[in-house]
């Protein structure tokens, strides 16, 4: 048997995981030393030569409920990402916890808006997102997946699942793949919403309230990270297991210390798979040889960014780190943004961009990590997305509001 991947699975149903009270119900526990919990967000220093690296295009404030942390003094850490603005050639679709789903064109003009009274837990997923999408998928507060018509916002179908879905689904071909909070992975028909297959995973007794978005490894294989610290590869058509790998290793004496969630969506680039974990690992796999490339000590709820030479990561406490993408050697680390609750990083032609909960976008030089540019949003920034085939950057708020920026590399 291959020591790295195992093809032996048992289909099993698991009970709903016990969600930690207090900090765990919406964000991760702060994995800091006790003395660190009183640290205020690091103040921003004036930049010697503040370059204009991003120009604002438009912003969309959903329901007028965007958060502002500008007067807060407490330590800020990363939050899980349940809402993500989806984009295709027609424009943008965004959703918020109160049930608002909004479609805008590429210039920010509202095309349609619907209000789902039951509220939403996660969204948004699009089919054919690189071209002309026809279907929008969101997850509501009652454990349902809902398919909307991309052109009108009308409901096409609803499907009740066994538990809430806490992250955007994956759509590929005629399948919608979603991970429920009780550890069940579902494969549904895109046309009808019928459940075609389901696969059970082991849920721990305590986990961070959130989950990573499934991704495609190839046209036939979906990769799904789960709360037990594993990544599972399943055939997307029928749900049959292909392999499984434990990535996150729990450490410590208490249940909190032993949390091993994978809440950051894996990144697959040029046959390399990069996964970050809450328990403190950045793991890189060479998928062509199915060998472990490297493991680095990084605790994060956010995905990494990858370019031709480096992997960029943000940590729970606010460091930004660049590693060699093949060896894992650390090239630089920046700690001047600590305790600001950083988003995931993204890369543009010349810069690494990160956002924070105080509403700032920071552009760092790829070679040195020096902060060379800064822009300010009207809302907190929880996640960043590079818009395909353009120089646009989408800055996502915790509640679904977003702003669109133009990179001026």
Closest CA to 270 of 232, 309, 231: 309
Mean pLDDT score of the chain: 85
Contact 361, 371 (CB under 8 A): no
Whether 8 shows a pLDDT value over 70: the answer reads no
Q: What number does CATH give the domain 38-79+301-409?
A: 2.130.10.10
Q: Which residues contact 307 (CB under 8 A, 6 or more apart)?
A: 325, 347, 366
Q: What is the DSSP string of 354-376?
A: EEBTTSEEEEEETTT--EEEEEE
Whether 273 shows a pLDDT value over 90: the answer reads yes
Contact 147, 135 (CB under 8 A): yes
pLDDT at 227: 80
pLDDT at 206: 45
What percent of the chain stands above pLDDT 70? 83
pLDDT at 63: 62
pLDDT at 409: 76
Give the model confidence (pLDDT) of 318-346 as tens digits: 999 999 999 999 999 999 999 999 999 99
Q: CA-CA distance, 302 to 289, in Å (whole number)? A: 26
Question: DSSP H helical segments within 11-170, as ranges?
Answer: none
Q: Which of 53-67, 164-178, 241-255 has the lowest mean pLDDT?
A: 241-255
Domain ranges of the chain: 38-79+301-409
Give the model confidence (pLDDT) of 84-105 as tens digits: 999 999 999 999 999 999 999 9
Contact 267, 303 (CB under 8 A): yes
Give the model confidence (pLDDT) of 152-192 as tens digits: 999 999 999 999 999 999 999 999 999 999 989 999 999 99
């Amino acid at each position: 048997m291959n020591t790295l991947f195992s093809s032996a699975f048992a289909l099993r149903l698991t009970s709903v995981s016990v969600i930690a009270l207090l900090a765990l119900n919406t964000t991760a526990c702060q994995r800091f030393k006790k003395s660190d919990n009183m640290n205020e967000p690091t103040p921003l220093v004036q930049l010697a030569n503040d370059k204009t690296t991003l120009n604002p295009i438009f912003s969309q404030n959903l329901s007028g409920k965007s958060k502002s942390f500008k007067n807060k003094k407490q330590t800020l850490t990363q939050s899980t990402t349940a809402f993500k603005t989806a984009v295709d050639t027609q424009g943008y679709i965004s959703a918020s916890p109160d049930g608002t789903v909004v479609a805008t064109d590429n210039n920010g003009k509202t095309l349609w808006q619907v209000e789902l009274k039951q509220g939403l837990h996660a969204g948004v997923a699009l089919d054919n997102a690189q071209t002309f999408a026809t279907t929008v998928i969101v997850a509501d507060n009652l454990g349902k997946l809902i398919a909307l018509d991309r052109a009108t916002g009308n409901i096409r179908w609803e499907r009740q699942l066994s538990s809430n879905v806490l992250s955007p689904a994956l759509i590929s071909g005629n399948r919608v793949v979603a991970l429920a909070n009780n550890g069940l992975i579902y494969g549904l028909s895109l046309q009808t919403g019928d459940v075609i297959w389901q696969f059970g995973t082991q849920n721990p007794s305590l986990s961070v309230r959130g989950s990573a978005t499934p991704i495609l490894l190839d046209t036939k294989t979906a990769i799904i990270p789960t709360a037990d610290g594993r990544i599972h590869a399943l055939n997307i058509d029928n749900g049959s297991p292909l392999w499984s790998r434990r990535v996150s290793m729990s450490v410590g004496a208490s249940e909190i210390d032993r949390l091993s969630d994978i809440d950051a969506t894996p990144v697959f680039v040029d046959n390399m798979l990069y996964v970050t974990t809450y328990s403190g690992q950045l793991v890189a796999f060479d998928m062509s040889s199915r060998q472990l490339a490297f493991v680095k000590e990084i605790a994060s709820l956010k995905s990494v960014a990858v370019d031709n030479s480096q992997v960029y990561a943000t940590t729970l406490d606010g460091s930004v780190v660049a590693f060699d993408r093949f060896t894992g050697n650390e090239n630089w680390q920046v700690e001047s943004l600590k305790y600001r609750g950083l988003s995931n990083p993204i890369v543009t032609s010349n810069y690494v961009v990160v956002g924070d909960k105080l509403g700032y976008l920071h552009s760092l030089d790829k070679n040195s990590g020096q902060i060379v540019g800064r822009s300010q949003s009207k809302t907190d920034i929880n996640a960043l997305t590079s818009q395909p085939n353009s120089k646009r950057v989408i800055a996502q708020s915790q509640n679904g509001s977003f702003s669109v920026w133009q990179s001026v590399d």
